[in-house]
Amino acid sequence: MNKNGELGFIHRFVPSSGSSATLLLLHGTGGDENDLLPIGHQLLPEAALLSPRGRVRENGMLRFFRRVAEGVFDLQDLAIQTEALAEFIKRAANQYKFDTGQVIAVGYSNGANIAASVMLNEPNLLRGAVLFRPMVPFVPDSRRDLRNVSALLAAGRRDPIVSPEETSSLARLFEAGGALVSIHWHNGGHELGNDDLAAAKEWLELWPPAT
């Protein structure tokens, strides 16, 4: 199902074929709402898929929020776009009748960063997340209650954009709020490897984790 701007974002929605989970698919810079659909089907075949298109353009490439330089985010725009995406998730849940308590973000790079921002801004809106090559989107001024949230961070040991220290910092930020965090280390760089997808699939098949 293709929606041209309805609910605030151009998006694709694929209904569930048996699972109660909905994967929120968030593409990287230069992608669109179609990019992660095959990965969503691969990771959790029976899940519903909700895949919005980023609303910001940078040199003709779609993104979810602006940046002022590589790795330096426009925090004002990040806040605006994060709020817009959170509202989109709520409206989509009402429109497509899926359970917001079963939404798991699957984001790559810029998409992973906006997912992390949503998690920090509206704890428990996303109950789980698979974040491929994420960065710390911002540091909140108070601790967030993330005790009902779990996340898999998939990072590249030789990523020229996201350092291992950045990944560890995001993990600590989530864990400080009580989130259950796992990290998968890919031996390459910023690109996705088959090992990333295998780790994500295994994590999703065991979600929600036992507490």
CATH code, domain with 190 = 3.40.50.1820
pTM of the model: 0.95
Instruction: Provide the domain count of the chain.
Output: 1
Asked if residue 81 belongs to a domain, the reply is yes
Asked if residue 210 belongs to a domain, the reply is no
Do the Cβ atoms of 184 and 127 come closer than 8 Å? no
- Provide the annotated active-site residues: 109, 159, 190
Asked if residue 200 belongs to a domain, the reply is yes
Looking only at the bridges linking them, the beta strands covering 11-14 and 48-52 are antiparallel
Q: For residues 119-144, b (16+ Cβ closer than 10 Å) or e, as one string?
A: bbbbbebbbbbbbbbbbbbbeeeeeb
Parent domain of 107: 2-205
Length of the chain measured in residues:
211
Asked if residue 211 belongs to a domain, the reply is no
DSSP 62-82: EESS-EEETTEE-HHHHHHHH
Per-residue pLDDT of the chain in tens (211 residues, 90 and over written 9): 677 777 999 999 999 998 899 999 999 999 999 999 999 999 999 999 999 999 999 999 999 999 988 778 999 999 999 999 999 999 999 999 999 899 999 999 999 999 999 999 998 899 999 999 999 999 998 889 999 999 999 999 999 999 999 999 999 999 999 999 999 999 999 999 999 999 999 999 988 775 5
Asked if residue 166 belongs to a domain, the reply is yes
